[in-house]
Structure 1
Amino acid sequence: MRLPNWLTQHLAALRALLVFTVLLGLAYPLALVAAGQLPGLSGKSDGSLLTAGGKTVGSALIGQSFTDADGNPVPRYFQSRPSAAGDGYDPTATAASNLGPESVVDTLSTDPETASESLLTTVCARSKAVGELDGVDGRRPYCTNDGVGAVLAVFRTNGLTGAVTRVVSVNQTTPATPFVTSWQGVPVELATPDQDYVAEGALIVPVRGDAPAKPAVPADAVTASGSGLDPHISPAYAQLQVDRVARERGTDPAAVQRLVEQHTTGRALGFMGEPGVNVLALNLALDEQFPAR
């Protein structure tokens, strides 16, 4: 008995579904799992996990913060780069801040829910903090000495032209002291929260200041990665921290430097990206060789 044409087509489709289900839904995934267990690949396929004292403490692929309960850096550890992923290095909230170079004016408000920092002030504050922690010059161009963006709102008689009539340091409020006392002969005021000086017609003027052209604090110490999960810092940022870590652990900086070099990886394929230092792996090695006293 010849089956109807429509039934033949459905049976052929069903056979194809079963074959591809076995091949792609079972055989192929199992083959990849088996390949992942080969020597040299098993650790990576399991998540590149790192252990200490027999316990899993993290992954070599995801950064961690080495801070205390109040969010302050723990001096005996190398510090990671900042993270914008959730509360920091949260794999479920991987993200960047989405702020760019034009983000220079803070949103000052009496309502904490409305207030927010510009990218410039965030960078300035981080650079100042790193400088104080590691005993280096934390100044950066366009930053005030108190760690906010050095930005003025300049009012002129004819909008963008004419004589200057009023100048406001838009990122500083009471009780701060204006980072410059006057601008083109006009005294500089402190900003008033909840006031939009741009909407009032002011011209925003970032002021470079006298900071060195090449800051002592590297860029990766003050900016987050695009994913917010980057486990590496630059060799320059690691070098900046060597003396502090050695001092806190009571050991020779040269010995700590050797550990940094051992945990520094080069460019991928020899030409892509930049060298990096895995902070978690380095700190685990520190705890093993130079345990805190």
Structure 2
Amino acid sequence: MRLSHRLAPHLAALRALLVFTVLLGLAYPLALVAVGRLPGLDVRADGSLITVEGAAVGSELIGQSFTDAAGTPLPHYFQSRPSAAGTGYDPTATAAGNLGPESVVDTLTADPRESTPSLLTQVCARSKAAGELDGVDGRRPYCTADGVGAVLAVFRAHGLTGPVTRVVSVNQAAPATPFVTAYEGVPVEPAQPGVDYVAAGGLVTPVWGDAPAVPAVPADAVTAGGSGLDPHISPAYARLQVARVARERGADPARVRSLVAAHTTGRALGFLGEPGVNVVTLNLALDREFPLG
């Protein structure tokens, strides 16, 4: 007896569901698990865990923050790049900061702890801190000396044109002293928390300042990675930190540089990406070679 033309499509769909459930829901995952158990692949499949005296202390694939409880960098360790994943390098909250190059104006509130820094101010603050930590010039273009974005809201008589009538340093809250005293002959005033000077008609005007064209602090020291989990920094950022780490550990800088070289990976397939230094494995090697007293 032929099936009803209404029932036949449903039975065909049910058969397809069962077949694909077995293939894609059972066979395929089990095959991948079996491949992950092959010698040479099993370590990476388990997360490339790093163990010290039998205890897991991290993963070669996930970065860590080498700071104290207050978030202050520990000077005897190489520092990782910033992370926007949760509170930092949280695998359950992997994410980028989702801020772009147009994020240059902070949201200032009466309570500084509740203010929201722009990407520019975050970069400026990190560069200033990194410069102070490693004893180099932390200045960057479009940054003030106190580590915020050097951005003015410029008001003109006719909106976009005409003489300047008012200028506000939008990222420096009163009673701060503006990073420039005047703009086109008009005194610069600090920002008042809670005021949106851009919505009020101010033209956003970043100011380069007197920073060098090529900052001493590399870009990866002041910007987070896309995943927030990358354990690598650039060789340039690692070289910047060698003198401090060697001094703090009482080690020969040449030997510390050798450790950096040993933990530097090249481009994938010889041409993809950039060389990187794995900070997690490097710091573990430091503890083995130059233990703290």
TM-score, shorter chain, exceeding 0.5: yes
Q: Give, in whole Å, the separation in 1 of the partners of 2:165 and 2:14.
A: 81
In structure 2, what is the equivalent of residue 65 of structure 1?
Answer: 65
Query: Which amino acid in structure 2 is aligned with residue 158 of structure 1?
Result: H
Q: CA deviation at 1:163?
A: 1.3
Q: CA deviation at 1:11?
A: 9.2
Q: CA deviation at 1:176?
A: 2.4
In structure 1, what is the equivalent of residue 272 of structure 2?
Answer: 272
Q: Give, in whole Å, the separation in 2 of the partners of 1:14 and 1:126.
A: 58
Q: Answer yes or no: is the 8 Å Cα contact 1:80–1:232 preserved in 2.
A: yes
Q: CA deviation at 1:203?
A: 1.1
Q: Give, in whole Å, the separation in 1 of the partners of 2:154 and 2:13.
A: 73
Query: Which amino acid in structure 1 is aligned with residue 259 of structure 2?
Result: L
Q: Give, in whole Å, the separation in 2 of the partners of 1:19 and 1:133.
A: 61
In structure 1, what is the equivalent of residue 95 of structure 2?
Answer: 95
In structure 1, what is the equivalent of residue 226 of structure 2?
Answer: 226
Q: Give, in whole Å, the separation in 2 of the partners of 1:164 and 1:110.
A: 28
Q: Give, in whole Å, the separation in 2 of the partners of 1:15 and 1:201.
A: 65
* SS, match of residue 75 in structure 1: coil
In structure 1, what is the equivalent of residue 148 of structure 2?
Answer: 148
Query: Which amino acid in structure 2 is aligned with residue 190 of structure 1?
Result: P
Q: Give, in whole Å, the separation in 1 of the partners of 2:114 and 2:68.
A: 27
Q: CA deviation at 1:199?
A: 1.7
Query: Which amino acid in structure 1 is aligned with residue 215 of structure 2?
Result: P
In structure 2, what is the equivalent of residue 51 of structure 1?
Answer: 51
Q: CA deviation at 1:271?
A: 1.0
* SS, match of residue 167 in structure 1: strand
Q: CA deviation at 1:27?
A: 4.8
* SS, match of residue 163 in structure 2: strand
Q: Answer yes or no: is the 8 Å Cα contact 1:76–1:248 preserved in 2.
A: yes
Q: CA deviation at 1:28?
A: 4.3
In structure 2, what is the equivalent of residue 198 of structure 1?
Answer: 198
Q: Which moved more, 1:48-57 or 1:127-136?
A: 48-57
Change (3 A) 1:18 1:97: closer
* SS, match of residue 170 in structure 1: strand
In structure 2, what is the equivalent of residue 187 of structure 1?
Answer: 187
Deviations 1:67-118 (A, max 9, x none): 1000000111111000111111111111111111111111111256862101
Q: Give, in whole Å, the separation in 2 of the partners of 1:289 and 1:71.
A: 25
Q: CA deviation at 1:12?
A: 9.0
The percentage of counterpart residues that share the same residue type is 77
Q: Which moved more, 1:268-277 or 1:31-40?
A: 31-40
Change (3 A) 1:154 1:5: closer
Q: Answer yes or no: is the 8 Å Cα contact 1:52–1:284 preserved in 2.
A: no
Q: TM-score normalized by structure 2? A: 0.92
Deviations 1:234-290 (A, max 9, x none): 111111111111111110011010111111111111111111111101111111111
- How many positions carry a matched residue from both structures? 291
The gaps in structure 2 that reach 5 residues or longer are none
Query: Which amino acid in structure 1 is aligned with residue 33 of structure 2?
Result: V
Change (3 A) 1:15 1:121: closer
The gaps in structure 1 that reach 5 residues or longer are none
Q: Which moved more, 1:136-145 or 1:268-277?
A: 268-277
Change (3 A) 1:200 1:37: same
Q: Give, in whole Å, the separation in 1 of the partners of 2:224 and 2:72.
A: 17
Deviations 1:107-147 (A, max 9, x none): 11125686210110000000000000000100000000000
Deviations 1:183-227 (A, max 9, x none): 111111111101111122111110001100000000000000111
Q: TM-score normalized by structure 1? A: 0.92
Q: Which moved more, 1:63-72 or 1:169-178?
A: 169-178
Q: Give, in whole Å, the separation in 1 of the partners of 2:246 and 2:109.
A: 42
In structure 1, what is the equivalent of residue 170 of structure 2?
Answer: 170
- The two structures, once aligned, show a CA RMSD in angstroms of 2.2
Query: Which amino acid in structure 1 is aligned with residue 180 of structure 2?
Result: V
